[in-house]
Amino acid sequence: MSYSQMIELLKIKHKGKILLVKTGAFYIATAEDAIFLHDTIGLKCICFKNYICKVGVPEKSLNKYIEEIDKLKVVYDFI
């Protein structure tokens, strides 16, 4: 299963929630979740095309954002 397929399945399973996936030393959000986190808490967003975007939070910095993220929805940790 590819990374994008995994994300699609998780988004279906957890509809309406923010999905942050731990990949290496970062928590990554993609697509509309990335744009939402950019707009609401100011995370730097990188877009390759319309709605093909991502934000990354270094694992070391997650505590800095966790209170704000907790207010939004939920953090998922998938290794």
pLDDT at 75 over 60: no
**Average pLDDT in the 52-73 region?**
83
Q: What's the rounded Cα separation, in Å, for the pair 59 and 11? A: 22
Spatial neighbors of 47 by CB under 8 A, at least 6 apart, are: 53
pTM of the model as a whole: 0.78
Kind of pairing between the strands at 26-30 and 45-49: unpaired
pLDDT of residue 51: 67
Q: Residue 24, Cα to own-chain centre: how many angstroms? A: 14
Q: Which amino acid is at 26?
A: F
Look at phi and psi of residue 51 and say left if phi exceeds 0, alpha if psi is from -120 to 50, else beta: left
Q: pLDDT band at 56, cuts 50/70/90?
A: very high
3 state SS of 67: helix
In this predicted model, which residue has the larger pLDDT, 72 or 4? 4
By residue count, the chain amounts to 79
The predicted structure's pLDDT at residue 21 = 86
